[in-house]
Amino acid sequence: MANDHIWRQIEQLLAGATQHVVLIAPFIKKEVFRAALGAIPARVEEIRCVTRWSVAEVAAGVSDPEIAEIAEADGRARIELCHNLHAKLYIADDRCLHGSANLTGRATGRVPDANIELLLETDAGHPEVQRVLEAIETTCVPASVDLARQIREQADLLQTDDDAPKVLIAGQDRILGHWLPETRNPERLYRVYTGRHRNIGGHVLAGVLRDLAHLDVPPGLSEQAFGETVLAGLRSMPEIRRLFQVGTLNMDDAKRELAASRACTEEQAQRAVETIAQWLHYFAEVHLVPVGPWEIRQGREIK
Protein backbone atom coordinates (compact mmCIF):
# COMPACT_ATOMS: atom_id res chain seq x y z
CA MET A 1 0.00 0.00 0.00
CA ALA A 2 1.30 3.42 -0.94
CA ASN A 3 -0.13 5.21 2.09
CA ASP A 4 0.62 2.67 4.83
CA HIS A 5 3.70 4.40 6.24
CA ILE A 6 2.08 4.66 9.70
CA TRP A 7 1.17 0.99 9.71
CA ARG A 8 4.70 -0.01 8.70
CA GLN A 9 6.05 2.01 11.64
CA ILE A 10 3.73 0.24 14.07
CA GLU A 11 4.34 -3.19 12.53
CA GLN A 12 8.10 -2.78 12.71
CA LEU A 13 7.94 -1.66 16.33
CA LEU A 14 5.74 -4.59 17.37
CA ALA A 15 7.80 -7.16 15.45
CA GLY A 16 10.86 -6.22 17.51
CA ALA A 17 9.21 -6.77 20.88
CA THR A 18 10.73 -9.41 23.16
CA GLN A 19 9.01 -8.94 26.55
CA HIS A 20 5.91 -6.77 26.58
CA VAL A 21 3.73 -4.57 24.36
CA VAL A 22 1.35 -1.73 25.24
CA LEU A 23 -1.20 -0.45 22.70
CA ILE A 24 -2.92 2.79 23.70
CA ALA A 25 -5.49 4.41 21.39
CA PRO A 26 -9.00 5.82 21.87
CA PHE A 27 -10.29 4.22 18.67
CA ILE A 28 -9.39 0.67 17.65
CA LYS A 29 -10.95 -1.27 14.79
CA LYS A 30 -10.96 -5.05 14.97
CA GLU A 31 -9.18 -5.66 11.64
CA VAL A 32 -6.22 -3.47 12.62
CA PHE A 33 -6.15 -4.87 16.17
CA ARG A 34 -6.00 -8.40 14.77
CA ALA A 35 -3.17 -7.38 12.46
CA ALA A 36 -1.30 -5.74 15.36
CA LEU A 37 -1.53 -8.91 17.46
CA GLY A 38 -0.32 -10.89 14.45
CA ALA A 39 2.75 -8.67 14.19
CA ILE A 40 3.78 -9.34 17.80
CA PRO A 41 6.10 -12.35 18.12
CA ALA A 42 4.77 -15.39 19.96
CA ARG A 43 7.54 -15.01 22.54
CA VAL A 44 5.80 -11.88 23.90
CA GLU A 45 3.34 -13.05 26.53
CA GLU A 46 2.25 -9.68 27.99
CA ILE A 47 0.12 -7.43 25.77
CA ARG A 48 -1.82 -4.57 27.32
CA CYS A 49 -4.35 -2.61 25.27
CA VAL A 50 -5.95 0.59 26.60
CA THR A 51 -8.83 2.16 24.69
CA ARG A 52 -12.23 3.72 25.30
CA TRP A 53 -15.74 2.58 24.42
CA SER A 54 -18.56 5.07 24.02
CA VAL A 55 -21.94 3.84 22.79
CA ALA A 56 -22.27 6.87 20.51
CA GLU A 57 -18.77 6.39 19.07
CA VAL A 58 -19.29 2.67 18.52
CA ALA A 59 -22.60 3.45 16.80
CA ALA A 60 -20.73 5.95 14.60
CA GLY A 61 -18.33 3.17 13.58
CA VAL A 62 -15.10 4.68 14.90
CA SER A 63 -14.35 1.88 17.37
CA ASP A 64 -15.05 -1.87 17.73
CA PRO A 65 -15.66 -3.41 21.17
CA GLU A 66 -15.25 -6.80 19.47
CA ILE A 67 -11.51 -6.46 20.09
CA ALA A 68 -12.29 -8.03 23.47
CA GLU A 69 -13.20 -11.29 21.75
CA ILE A 70 -10.05 -11.14 19.61
CA ALA A 71 -7.94 -10.53 22.72
CA GLU A 72 -9.57 -13.45 24.53
CA ALA A 73 -8.91 -15.75 21.58
CA ASP A 74 -5.28 -14.60 21.39
CA GLY A 75 -4.80 -15.41 25.08
CA ARG A 76 -1.99 -12.90 25.67
CA ALA A 77 -3.82 -9.57 25.49
CA ARG A 78 -5.93 -7.80 28.07
CA ILE A 79 -8.23 -4.86 27.32
CA GLU A 80 -8.65 -1.89 29.65
CA LEU A 81 -10.86 1.17 29.27
CA CYS A 82 -9.98 4.79 29.98
CA HIS A 83 -12.96 7.01 29.22
CA ASN A 84 -11.12 10.33 28.85
CA LEU A 85 -8.31 8.82 26.76
CA HIS A 86 -7.00 10.84 23.83
CA ALA A 87 -3.30 9.87 23.78
CA LYS A 88 -1.92 7.41 21.22
CA LEU A 89 1.09 5.39 22.37
CA TYR A 90 2.55 2.15 21.06
CA ILE A 91 5.22 0.58 23.26
CA ALA A 92 7.43 -2.44 22.68
CA ASP A 93 9.85 -3.06 25.56
CA ASP A 94 11.82 0.22 25.86
CA ARG A 95 10.78 1.72 22.49
CA CYS A 96 7.73 3.89 21.97
CA LEU A 97 5.82 5.52 19.12
CA HIS A 98 3.65 8.50 19.99
CA GLY A 99 1.58 10.86 17.87
CA SER A 100 -1.85 11.21 16.29
CA ALA A 101 -2.69 7.79 14.83
CA ASN A 102 -5.39 5.53 16.24
CA LEU A 103 -5.48 1.81 15.45
CA THR A 104 -7.96 2.22 12.61
CA GLY A 105 -7.69 1.53 8.92
CA ARG A 106 -7.70 5.17 7.86
CA ALA A 107 -5.27 6.26 10.59
CA THR A 108 -2.75 3.55 9.76
CA GLY A 109 -3.16 3.77 5.97
CA ARG A 110 -4.40 0.19 5.64
CA VAL A 111 -7.44 1.38 3.62
CA PRO A 112 -7.83 3.94 0.82
CA ASP A 113 -8.34 7.63 1.65
CA ALA A 114 -5.94 7.44 4.59
CA ASN A 115 -5.74 10.21 7.16
CA ILE A 116 -2.69 12.44 7.43
CA GLU A 117 -1.10 11.16 10.64
CA LEU A 118 2.18 11.37 12.53
CA LEU A 119 4.05 8.95 14.78
CA LEU A 120 7.44 9.75 16.32
CA GLU A 121 9.73 7.38 18.18
CA THR A 122 10.94 8.07 21.70
CA ASP A 123 12.18 6.13 24.69
CA ALA A 124 9.45 4.41 26.69
CA GLY A 125 11.03 5.87 29.83
CA HIS A 126 10.52 9.46 28.68
CA PRO A 127 8.93 11.48 31.53
CA GLU A 128 5.92 12.48 29.43
CA VAL A 129 5.26 8.90 28.39
CA GLN A 130 5.48 7.83 32.02
CA ARG A 131 3.14 10.67 33.06
CA VAL A 132 0.50 9.45 30.61
CA LEU A 133 0.91 5.84 31.76
CA GLU A 134 0.51 6.88 35.39
CA ALA A 135 -2.60 8.93 34.58
CA ILE A 136 -4.13 5.97 32.75
CA GLU A 137 -3.33 3.69 35.68
CA THR A 138 -5.43 5.81 38.04
CA THR A 139 -8.56 5.83 35.85
CA CYS A 140 -8.63 2.67 33.70
CA VAL A 141 -11.01 -0.23 34.34
CA PRO A 142 -10.85 -3.78 32.97
CA ALA A 143 -13.01 -4.62 29.97
CA SER A 144 -14.69 -7.94 29.26
CA VAL A 145 -16.38 -9.77 26.41
CA ASP A 146 -19.74 -9.40 28.16
CA LEU A 147 -19.29 -5.64 28.46
CA ALA A 148 -18.20 -5.44 24.82
CA ARG A 149 -21.36 -7.24 23.70
CA GLN A 150 -23.50 -4.97 25.84
CA ILE A 151 -21.89 -1.87 24.32
CA ARG A 152 -22.43 -3.26 20.80
CA GLU A 153 -26.08 -4.07 21.51
CA GLN A 154 -26.74 -0.55 22.77
CA ALA A 155 -24.82 0.96 19.84
CA ASP A 156 -26.88 -1.06 17.36
CA LEU A 157 -30.09 0.15 18.98
CA LEU A 158 -28.85 3.73 18.96
CA GLN A 159 -27.80 3.46 15.33
CA THR A 160 -31.41 2.88 14.24
CA ASP A 161 -32.62 5.97 16.12
CA ASP A 162 -32.92 9.07 13.92
CA ASP A 163 -32.98 11.31 17.00
CA ALA A 164 -29.80 9.88 18.52
CA PRO A 165 -26.84 12.22 19.05
CA LYS A 166 -24.40 12.19 16.17
CA VAL A 167 -20.61 12.08 16.56
CA LEU A 168 -19.43 14.87 14.28
CA ILE A 169 -15.77 14.89 15.26
CA ALA A 170 -15.28 11.64 17.09
CA GLY A 171 -14.27 12.12 20.68
CA GLN A 172 -14.14 15.91 20.54
CA ASP A 173 -17.68 17.26 20.51
CA ARG A 174 -19.55 17.64 23.77
CA ILE A 175 -23.28 17.39 23.14
CA LEU A 176 -24.41 17.77 26.74
CA GLY A 177 -25.16 21.49 26.39
CA HIS A 178 -28.12 20.79 24.08
CA TRP A 179 -29.49 17.89 26.09
CA LEU A 180 -32.65 17.66 28.18
CA PRO A 181 -33.54 14.46 30.07
CA GLU A 182 -36.17 12.39 28.27
CA THR A 183 -37.05 9.35 30.32
CA ARG A 184 -39.65 10.03 33.01
CA ASN A 185 -38.46 7.07 35.08
CA PRO A 186 -34.80 7.66 36.01
CA GLU A 187 -34.59 4.26 37.71
CA ARG A 188 -34.55 2.78 34.20
CA LEU A 189 -31.22 4.42 33.39
CA TYR A 190 -28.96 2.04 35.30
CA ARG A 191 -30.99 -0.98 34.20
CA VAL A 192 -30.46 -0.11 30.54
CA TYR A 193 -26.85 0.91 31.19
CA THR A 194 -26.16 -2.61 32.50
CA GLY A 195 -28.05 -4.31 29.67
CA ARG A 196 -31.24 -5.17 31.59
CA HIS A 197 -33.87 -3.75 29.25
CA ARG A 198 -35.85 -6.74 28.01
CA ASN A 199 -39.16 -5.49 29.46
CA ILE A 200 -38.80 -1.87 28.34
CA GLY A 201 -40.73 -0.88 25.21
CA GLY A 202 -38.84 0.22 22.12
CA HIS A 203 -39.92 3.87 22.20
CA VAL A 204 -39.07 4.27 25.88
CA LEU A 205 -35.80 2.37 25.45
CA ALA A 206 -34.77 4.71 22.63
CA GLY A 207 -35.26 7.70 24.95
CA VAL A 208 -33.18 6.11 27.71
CA LEU A 209 -30.38 5.31 25.26
CA ARG A 210 -30.42 8.90 24.02
CA ASP A 211 -30.12 10.10 27.62
CA LEU A 212 -27.17 7.78 28.24
CA ALA A 213 -25.47 8.78 25.00
CA HIS A 214 -25.82 12.48 25.74
CA LEU A 215 -24.53 12.01 29.30
CA ASP A 216 -21.56 10.03 27.90
CA VAL A 217 -21.33 7.81 30.97
CA PRO A 218 -18.16 5.67 31.09
CA PRO A 219 -18.82 1.91 30.85
CA GLY A 220 -18.43 -0.46 33.77
CA LEU A 221 -19.43 1.84 36.65
CA SER A 222 -21.00 0.67 39.89
CA GLU A 223 -24.51 1.94 40.57
CA GLN A 224 -23.21 4.54 43.02
CA ALA A 225 -20.56 5.82 40.60
CA PHE A 226 -23.15 5.83 37.82
CA GLY A 227 -25.48 8.00 39.92
CA GLU A 228 -22.66 10.41 40.72
CA THR A 229 -21.86 10.76 37.00
CA VAL A 230 -25.49 11.41 36.10
CA LEU A 231 -25.76 13.98 38.87
CA ALA A 232 -22.64 15.72 37.55
CA GLY A 233 -24.38 15.96 34.18
CA LEU A 234 -27.44 17.52 35.80
CA ARG A 235 -25.27 19.97 37.74
CA SER A 236 -23.76 21.18 34.47
CA MET A 237 -27.15 22.38 33.19
CA PRO A 238 -27.22 26.17 33.61
CA GLU A 239 -30.99 26.20 34.10
CA ILE A 240 -30.77 24.31 37.41
CA ARG A 241 -27.43 25.59 38.66
CA ARG A 242 -29.22 27.84 41.17
CA LEU A 243 -30.46 24.76 43.04
CA PHE A 244 -26.91 23.72 43.86
CA GLN A 245 -25.80 27.28 44.58
CA VAL A 246 -28.53 28.44 46.99
CA GLY A 247 -30.44 25.25 47.77
CA THR A 248 -33.77 26.07 46.09
CA LEU A 249 -35.10 26.32 42.55
CA ASN A 250 -38.44 27.85 41.57
CA MET A 251 -40.08 25.60 38.99
CA ASP A 252 -41.64 28.47 37.05
CA ASP A 253 -38.29 30.27 36.85
CA ALA A 254 -36.64 27.10 35.57
CA LYS A 255 -39.41 26.62 33.01
CA ARG A 256 -39.07 30.17 31.66
CA GLU A 257 -35.29 29.83 31.43
CA LEU A 258 -35.57 26.51 29.63
CA ALA A 259 -38.10 27.90 27.15
CA ALA A 260 -35.80 30.84 26.40
CA SER A 261 -32.44 29.03 26.29
CA ARG A 262 -33.53 25.85 24.48
CA ALA A 263 -36.03 27.48 22.09
CA CYS A 264 -38.76 25.07 23.15
CA THR A 265 -42.48 25.56 23.68
CA GLU A 266 -43.98 26.23 27.10
CA GLU A 267 -45.43 22.71 27.10
CA GLN A 268 -42.03 21.19 26.29
CA ALA A 269 -40.37 23.31 28.98
CA GLN A 270 -43.01 22.23 31.52
CA ARG A 271 -42.41 18.57 30.73
CA ALA A 272 -38.64 19.04 30.86
CA VAL A 273 -38.78 20.70 34.29
CA GLU A 274 -41.01 17.92 35.63
CA THR A 275 -38.60 15.30 34.28
CA ILE A 276 -35.58 17.09 35.73
CA ALA A 277 -37.35 17.19 39.09
CA GLN A 278 -37.88 13.41 38.92
CA TRP A 279 -34.18 12.87 38.13
CA LEU A 280 -33.05 15.16 40.93
CA HIS A 281 -35.36 13.43 43.40
CA TYR A 282 -33.90 10.06 42.37
CA PHE A 283 -30.19 10.92 42.12
CA ALA A 284 -29.86 13.68 44.72
CA GLU A 285 -31.38 14.58 48.08
CA VAL A 286 -34.01 17.05 46.89
CA HIS A 287 -37.77 17.30 47.34
CA LEU A 288 -40.67 19.34 45.97
CA VAL A 289 -42.35 21.97 48.12
CA PRO A 290 -45.75 23.46 47.07
CA VAL A 291 -45.16 27.13 47.97
CA GLY A 292 -46.91 29.21 45.31
CA PRO A 293 -45.09 27.89 42.26
CA TRP A 294 -43.51 24.59 43.22
CA GLU A 295 -39.91 24.67 44.36
CA ILE A 296 -37.20 22.03 44.32
CA ARG A 297 -35.20 22.13 47.53
CA GLN A 298 -32.03 20.33 48.52
CA GLY A 299 -32.16 17.90 51.43
CA ARG A 300 -34.59 15.22 52.52
CA GLU A 301 -38.20 16.08 53.10
CA ILE A 302 -39.15 16.40 56.77
CA LYS A 303 -42.33 14.43 57.39
Question: Is position 210 within any domain?
Answer: yes
- Examine residue 158 and state whether it is found in any structural domain, yes or no: no
Domain co-membership, 190 together with 105? no
d(CA 70, CA 24): 16
Give the pLDDT score at 172. Answer: 41
| pLDDT for position 249 | 72
pLDDT confidence of residue 130 = 97
Which structural domain, as residue segments, surrounds residue 284?
A: 174-298
pLDDT along the chain (303 residues), means of 10: 84 97 98 98 96 92 96 97 96 97 95 92 96 95 95 89 54 53 92 87 88 89 92 83 73 78 78 86 71 54 45
**Final residue belonging to a domain, choices 110, 130, 147:** 147
Which of 91, 112, 147 corresponds to the end of one domain?
Answer: 147
| Rama region for 227: left / alpha / beta (φ>0; ψ in -120 to 50; rest) | alpha
The answer on 249 and 143 residing in a single domain is: no
Tell whether 16 and 139 lie within a shared domain.
Answer: yes
Residues 109 and 185 in one domain: no
| Same domain, residue pair 91 and 34 | yes
Residue 167 lies in a domain: no
Claim to verify: residue 96 and residue 193 sit in the same structural domain: no
In a domain, 54, yes or no: yes
User: Are 110 and 42 within one domain?
Assistant: yes
Residue 175: per-residue pLDDT: 44
- Cβ 210 vs Cβ 180: under 8 Å: no
Question: Measured between alpha carbons, how far is 205 from 207 in angstroms, rounded to an integer?
Answer: 5
Domain count, the chain: 2
Same domain, 13 and 143: yes
CA separation for the pair 65, 46 (Å, rounded): 20
The backbone torsions φ and ψ at residue 163, rounded to the nearest 5 degrees and listed phi first, read -95, 5
Q: Are residues 25 and 62 in the same domain?
A: yes
